[in-house]
Amino acid sequence: MTIATGDKIPDVTLKTNGAEGPQDISTGELFAGKRVVLFAVPGAFTPGCSNTHMPGFVIKADEILAKGVDTIACMAVNDAFVMDAWQKNQNAQAFTMLADGNAEFARALGLDMDASGSGMGTRSKRFAMIVDDGVVEYLGVDAKGVDQSSAETVLGKL
């Protein structure tokens, strides 16, 4: 079952890259008492994610944060090392990069997909959400391309 507006985010442990390498971060900790914009991509360094999705959020980050957002987070079914390298490559230092290496969070949200036909295994669907104190205010899932999960769309929903 896919998470929906008004639902509470499930508590799952993800990885982020800290000063001394990968470290655990729980979604409970990430979302508690904060307004968070989370966007998820099928894979770091993939063409649509690197050329379209991430750059929109990099360009619009200041505008999004100015709307009362505490954190912008980006998630992919990749490891923390890849997410750290992609963050540097995309000039996305303002973001919290979340590695969902085993797709546990994507699966808990009901937003996982089978990309094994492309040799990518289980991945996250492309989506964005606005979460206030752990509760989903907006969820936009893209069937194709970047539309419901774009930075522009999210900005319009804030």
CA 42 → CA 29, 94, 113, 127, 135, distances in Å? Answer: 24, 20, 9, 9, 23
At residue 102, the pLDDT reads 94
- Looking at per-residue pLDDT, the higher value among 42 and 6 belongs to 6
pLDDT confidence band for 18 (50 / 70 / 90)? confident
At residue 115, the pLDDT reads 85
Instruction: Check if 49 is active-site.
Output: yes
Residue 126's identity, in one-letter code, is R
pLDDT over threshold 90, residue 16: yes
Per-residue burial over 103-137, b if 16 or more Cβ lie within 10 Å, else e, is: bbbbbbbebbeebeeeeeebbbbbbbbbbbebebb
Alpha carbon 4 to its chain centroid, in Å, reads 16
Q: What is the pLDDT of residues 106-117, one digit of tens each?
A: 999 999 988 887
pLDDT confidence band for 26 (50 / 70 / 90)? very high
Q: What is the pLDDT of residues 49-108, one digit of tens each?
A: 777 888 899 999 999 999 999 999 999 999 999 999 999 999 999 999 999 999 999 999
pLDDT over threshold 80, residue 25: yes
Helical ranges in 90-150 per DSSP H: 104-109
At residue 129, the pLDDT reads 98
Task: Choose, from 25, 41, 49, 131, the residue flagged as catalytic.
Answer: 49
* Averaged pLDDT, 35-50: 86
